[in-house]
Amino acid sequence: MTGSEGALTCLVTGGNKGIGLETVRRLRAAGHVVYLGSRDLERGRLASEDVGARPVALDVTSEDSVRAAAGTILDEVEHLDVLVNNAGITGPLRDVHDYDATDAAAVMMTDVVGYVRVIHAFLPLLEQANDPRIVNVSSGLGSLTLAHDESRIESHAGTPLYSAAKSAINMLTVRYAQLLPGIRINAADPGMTATDLSGGEGHSVANGADAILAFALGGPDTPTGAYRDREGDLPW
Ligand code: NAP
Give the pLDDT band of residue 72 (cuts 50, 70, 90). very high
Average per-residue pLDDT in the chain?
96
Ligand 1 center to residue 83 CA distance, Å? 15
pLDDT digits (tens, 9 = 90+) for 115-139: 999 999 999 999 999 999 999 999 9
pLDDT digits (tens, 9 = 90+) for 181-200: 999 999 999 999 999 999 99
Among protein residues, the one with the nearest Cα to ligand 1's atom 8 is 14
Q: Nearest 5 degrees, angle CA 224-CA 196-CA 21? A: 50
The Cα–Cα gap between 92 and 235 comes to 27
pLDDT recorded at residue 4: 42
Sequence-ordered strand ranges (E) for 44-183: 54-57, 82-85, 133-137
Does residue 93 sit in helix, strand or coil?
A: coil
H-run or E-run covering 12? strand 9-12
pLDDT recorded at residue 1: 42
Best mutation site among 11, 12, 13, 17 for ligand 1 pocket (most ligand atoms within 8 Å of CB):
17
**Residues near ligand 1 (Cβ within 6 A):** 13-14, 16-20, 39-40, 43, 58-61, 86-89, 110, 137, 139, 189-190, 192-193, 195-198, 202
Kindly give the interhelix angle for 114-126 and 160-179, rounded to the nearest 10 degrees: 20
Give the pLDDT band of residue 3 (cuts 50, 70, 90). very low
Ligand 1 center to residue 81 CA distance, Å? 22
The Cα–Cα gap between 19 and 2 comes to 27
Best mutation site among 12, 13, 16, 19 for ligand 1 pocket (most ligand atoms within 8 Å of CB):
19
On the question of pLDDT at 36 being above 50, the answer is yes
pLDDT recorded at residue 5: 56
pLDDT digits (tens, 9 = 90+) for 144-155: 999 999 999 999
Give the pLDDT band of residue 6 (cuts 50, 70, 90). confident
Ligand 1 center to residue 84 CA distance, Å? 12
Please state, for a pLDDT cut of 70, what percent of the chain lies above it.
98
pLDDT digits (tens, 9 = 90+) for 171-181: 999 999 999 99
Shortest-distance atom of ligand 1 to CA 90: 34
Lowest mean pLDDT among 1-5, 160-164, 201-205: 1-5
DSSP 51: H
